[in-house]
Amino acid sequence: MRRAGFTLVEVMIAIFIAAVMFAIGYRALNQGLVFNESLKVSQARVTEIQRGMRVIAQDFAQLAARAARDAQGTGELLPAISADNRDNTLLVFTRTGWSNPAGIQRPAEQRVRYRFVDGSLLREHWLALDAALAAEPRQRILLTRLKSVEIRFLDPASRSWRTEWPIATPSGPVGPANIDEMLLTRPLAIELTVVFEDWGRVQRVFEVPM
């Protein structure tokens, strides 16, 4: 009586089919892992850009007409909003609404500086509105992998866009009679143009509350 079983040819065919199925499955699994990792990177990038833009929008929505003292100790008053395209500093301004959940002894106003350094948009702020001599700001990276950043201001008088602010620069002492015109004027809107390495050109206009 013959025993039922598989021939060598059948076993080899079965092994070959199993190997092919394993290779197909491994390739699909590997592609899935690569796609999942790429998706995580893309989601992290989107989150970074959304978070950075949200911080910028909050800053510009809280712009305050409050001048600040010169950190060098000269006693000179600095404009509430200042942009002169010098070095890598894009903008220096005063904002309100600085949250204080810990109840620290400090004002609700904050002095902030935006800088474009090595392809990144940096946000810096001082712990005191009128910073002491040689006080170092706290730094936060808002956006990375940037090609360029440009900020423009909508002049409320001429309704034209300007790259520098304020419009008038003090030619002498600033006092109660001319401080509003020289240091406290705010634009109607601020235009931010950012060119990303991966996303291309993104432009947003933020209305400045009066």
**Domain positions in the chain:** 56-207
**Which pLDDT does position 41 carry in this prediction?**
81
Averaged pLDDT in 10-residue chunks for the chain of 210 residues: 62 74 72 72 91 96 87 74 88 86 72 96 89 80 96 94 83 56 83 95 92
Strands 138-143 and 146-154: unpaired
Amino acid occupying residue 135: A
- Among candidates 80, 46, 44, 47, which has minimal Cα distance to 62? 80
DSSP string, 31-65: HHHHHHHHHHHHHHHHHHHHHHHHHHHHHHHTB--
**Which pLDDT does position 99 carry in this prediction?**
73
Contact 69, 34 (CB under 8 A): no
Query: Helix (H, G, I), strand (E, B), or coil: what is residue 23?
Result: helix
**Which pLDDT does position 143 carry in this prediction?**
97
Return the CATH architecture of domain 56-207: Roll (3.10)
**Which pLDDT does position 87 carry in this prediction?**
82
In 3-state terms the chain splits into helix, strand, coil percentages (rounded to 5) of 30, 30, 40
**Which pLDDT does position 177 carry in this prediction?**
54
Cα 14 to Cα 16: distance, rounded to the nearest angstrom:
5
**Which pLDDT does position 140 carry in this prediction?**
96
**Which pLDDT does position 48 carry in this prediction?**
94
